[in-house]
Amino acid sequence: LSELSQNPKENGMHSIRIIGLDADDTLWHNENIFEQAHIRYRRLLSEYHDAQTLDEALLKTEKKNLRLYGYGIKGFMLSAIETAISLSGGRMRTKEIQAILDMGKEMLDHPVELLDGVAETISTLAESHRLILITKGDLKDQQSKLAKSGLSQAFSQVEVVTEKNPDAYAKIFQRHEIVPAEFLMVGNSIKSDILPVLSLGGAGVHIPYHLQWVEDCVEETPEPSERFMVLDSLQKLPAILKK
């Protein structure tokens, strides 16, 4: 980090009153649950196909179905069943489809595992800033995870959106009377959490997670500026914001 970004008076973060926080892979682990599911899926279908063929076919099915299914585990389950049937050329047995259903239910029922230091950091941030949870995905699933996380009291609002684009953030700004110059978005996705908010005049803090869904990857991270920085942990945010 440059010295500039460490000093809130100069780094453009001193004006921040409201912090938007992404949830999956920013507050709690999520992509590792999908990664584990992919491993089980490859094993389940290993007699029919190699891992790469499976991964590519599943991703292609997921992208094709995104318009209808949106993000989330239920859509993943349906795409995984469709891919399995299609790739096996009809040789698939029902017990393998049942195994995909069981796997998806375990994913939905998975305990919420917070990233290191998140509970304490969110509690600290809530003392000085208004916090809004902004997450994309399945409403039922995200609300269930928030309830299990034990963090819900810290957030003054919760916004579950189907897509994190400039239009979605603009609507959130309007609904909560948010001035973009006072808004900071924190998350693990450059594409979903950072770029749309910077484009609207807000600030962004990128906290990379070690796994990312390939469709959420962007090639370039913006240059650090007074409105954008990269941190390796949420635990470092309170110090950055402290005046």
Stretch that binds a copy of itself, among 17-25, 140-148, 190-198, 205-213 (CB under 8 A): 140-148
Does 87 interact with a copy of itself (rule: CB under 8 A)?
A: no
Please identify, using beta-carbon distances, which residue of 157 and 225 lies nearer to a copy of itself: 157
- Does 101 sit near a copy of itself (CB under 8 A)? yes
Q: Does 88 bind a copy of itself (CB under 8 A)?
A: yes
Q: Looking at 13-21, 32-40, 46-54, 67-75, which segment touches a copy of itself (CB under 8 A)?
A: 67-75
Q: Based on the shown chain and the rule CB under 8 A, indicate whether residue 70 belongs to the binding site for a copy of itself.
A: yes
Comparison of 59 and 92: residue with beta carbon closer to a copy of itself:
92
Determine, following the binding rule CB under 8 A, whether residue 77 of this chain makes contact with a copy of itself. yes
Cα 95 from chain centroid (whole Å): 32
Q: In angstroms, rounded to a whole number, what is the distance separating the alpha carbons of residues 181 and 200?
A: 9
Residue 209 found at the interface with a copy of itself (CB under 8 A): no
Q: Quick one: which of 30, 21, 27, 16 has its CA closest to 155?
A: 21
Among 3, 47, 52, 90, binds a copy of itself (CB under 8 A): 90
First and final C-alpha spacing in the chain: 18
- Distance (Å, whole) CA 179 – CA 5: 21
- Helix 31-44 to helix 73-88 angle (10° resolution) is 20
Report the distance separating Cα 241 and Cα 182, nearest Å.
12
Q: Which residue, among 228, 181, 239, 231, has the nearest Cα to 11 in the 3D structure?
A: 228
Q: Residue 33 CB, nearest distance to a copy of itself (Å)?
A: 14
C-alpha 120 chain-centroid distance: 20
- Please give the residue ranges that form the binding site for a copy of itself (CB under 8 A): 65, 68-71, 74-75, 77-78, 81-82, 85, 88, 90, 92-95, 97-98, 101, 104-105, 108-109, 138-141, 143, 157, 160-162, 175
